[in-house]
Amino acid sequence: MNMPIVEITTTNAELGIKSSRPPFEISQPPADTEINQNLTDTVEISTKAAKVNIDQSEAFADANLISPLQKTKQFAQKANQTATEYTAKKAREGEQLKAIENNGGGGKAKLRLQKKTAS
């Protein structure tokens, strides 16, 4: 018996895809730049002088240095005190002279007056 025969033959199929990258170029023209400097600008700086007051009177007093104003005040106080004491002394002497004249120049009146002014 004859049997039909089926013959199969295969061939390898080749697919060919060839790719190449296209040339890539970027070109950029130089940028237009412009820098302007105005060299005529002015810078203004103003200062105000500081005023400093330092009171050194306490430091001078600690060092026994006295300003002319303080020295004048002290002198005026001392002169006033001296004048007051002198006036009081002359008033006492006047009272003594008055007592002597009123009592006829007795020594007891002068002694009583001295005790009276001392106390």
Pair of tokens at residue 83: 């004048």
47 lies in some domain:
no
102 lies in some domain:
yes
10 Å Cβ neighbour count for 70?
A: 13
Q: φ and ψ at 111, to 5 degrees? A: -65, -45
Mean pLDDT value across residues 9-36: 81
Domain of residue 112, residue span: 70-118
Torsion of Cα atoms, 89 then 94 then 95 then 99, to 10°: 140
105 lies in some domain:
yes
78 lies in some domain:
yes
CB of 87 closer than 8 Å to CB of 79:
no
79 lies in some domain:
yes
Instruction: Give the count of domains, the chain.
Output: 1
Across 21-30, 61-70, 97-106, least confident range = 97-106
25 lies in some domain:
no
Supply the pTM of this predicted model: 0.38
4 lies in some domain:
no
**% of the chain surpassing 90 pLDDT:** 16
